Amino acid sequence: MSEPVNANPGPRGRSATNSGDTSLRQVAYERIEDLLNWGGIKPGQVISQRELVEMAGVTLGSVREAIPRFEAEGLLQTIPQRGLMVPSLDVTFVREAYQLRRILELGALPDLLERLDRAVVSQWIDWHLAARARLDGTDQGSLESFLREFQLHDWDMHARMVETMGNSLISNVYRVTAIKIRMSAQARVRVTRENATRVIREHLAFLEPLLLGHAEDAARSLSHHIDQSLTLALGGVLKA
């Protein structure tokens, strides 16, 4: 049996600016990635390198060094004489992206069951239970901060599930696909006050059987969670 993976279950956020040996290019990449994730720049938008410098708070040189990676990943396109464009992503892409997400997340389940330390799953469950309690008592003033924390934890948990496979190529494909899904769907798949309770319920529905080693129940509930997200990404309405 493989050695268990003991991952920190909390959101990782961005640590680049806290590491002295991290290149300015990586800092620029991560800040621009955040702009894409949170809708700071949107599909179809054309933006100059200097505008990107101002929005990301980094140097022009570091932006220029980061651009080739974004182009290779299909996250930005260079438009001669105009600047950079965030590519538009249509309904067909959304469907295909979710199909890929399903393959990768469900494909990670055997590794999650075999390699992921159960203490991590238990911490994920505890986090969601605490989040549910916080949601009931969160006032409007602290709601935005809470929802951002929730969203980061959501993204991070799903990414860590795939990372348990120990395949950096798969992890990077998943990361880029997830960014494109967020770009294309924007607010439709974002955690909000209205849907947070449902997201918590759906997460617990696959985390609890995962903790107990019940593969079929975990797979069924995870698949349902992905289906729900796809419906919203396509502009649909969830059944009560």
Assign residue 61 the CATH number of its domain.
Answer: 1.10.10.10
Q: What pLDDT is attached to residue 217?
A: 98
Nearest Cα to Cα of residue 40 among 184, 183, 234, 188 = 183
Entry field: residues in the chain: 240
Q: What pLDDT is attached to residue 143?
A: 83
Three-state secondary structure call for residue 205: helix
For residues 67 and 98, membership in a common domain is answered with: no
Radius of gyration of the chain (CA): 19
- Residue 4, domain member (yes or no): no
For residues 157 and 127, membership in a common domain is answered with: yes
Q: What pLDDT is attached to residue 240?
A: 58
- Residue 146, domain member (yes or no): yes
Tens of each residue's pLDDT in the chain, 240 residues: 444 555 444 444 444 444 443 689 999 999 999 999 999 999 999 999 999 999 999 999 999 999 999 999 999 999 998 999 999 888 999 999 999 999 999 999 999 999 999 999 999 999 999 999 888 776 666 888 899 999 999 999 999 999 999 999 999 999 999 999 999 887 688 888 888 999 999 999 999 999 999 999 999 999 999 999 999 999 888 875
One-letter identity of residue 68: P
For residues 138 and 26, membership in a common domain is answered with: no
- Residue 2, domain member (yes or no): no
- Residue 11, domain member (yes or no): no
The total number of structural domains in the chain stands at: 2
- Residue 3, domain member (yes or no): no
Q: What pLDDT is attached to residue 92?
A: 93
For residues 133 and 155, membership in a common domain is answered with: yes
For residues 20 and 130, membership in a common domain is answered with: no
Q: Give pTM, 2 decimals.
A: 0.85
Question: In this structure, what DSSP letter does residue 9 have?
Answer: -
Q: What pLDDT is attached to residue 190?
A: 84
- 141-158: burial string, b at 16+ Cβ within 10 Å, e else: eeeeebbebbbbbbbbbb
For residues 137 and 36, membership in a common domain is answered with: no
Which contiguous run of DSSP H or E holds residue 76? none
Nearest Cα to Cα of residue 228 among 197, 191, 189 = 189
Q: CB of 210 within 8 A of CB of 110? A: no
Query: Residue 53 belongs to what domain range?
Result: 16-85
Three-state secondary structure call for residue 43: coil
Looking at 85, 103, 120, which one is the last position of a domain? 85
For residues 131 and 210, membership in a common domain is answered with: yes
Q: Round to whole Å and give the CA distance between 36 and 69.
A: 14
- Residue 202, domain member (yes or no): yes
Q: What pLDDT is attached to residue 13?
A: 45
Structure tokens at 162: 């795939």
Looking at 41, 66, 85, which one is the last position of a domain? 85
Helices (H), the chain: 24-37, 49-56, 60-72, 91-107, 109-115, 118-137, 140-163, 168-185, 196-212, 215-233
Q: What pLDDT is attached to residue 208?
A: 98
Q: Round to whole Å and give the CA distance between 193 and 131.
A: 12
Nearest Cα to Cα of residue 223 among 102, 99, 94, 113 = 102
Q: Round to whole Å and give the CA distance between 104 and 169.
A: 12
For residues 203 and 156, membership in a common domain is answered with: yes
For residues 67 and 165, membership in a common domain is answered with: no
Three-state secondary structure call for residue 58: coil
Structure tokens at 8: 């920190």
For residues 193 and 221, membership in a common domain is answered with: yes
> Measured between alpha carbons, how far apart are the two ends of the chain, in Å?
42
Q: Round to whole Å and give the CA distance between 97 and 225.
A: 15
Looking at 31, 57, 85, which one is the last position of a domain? 85
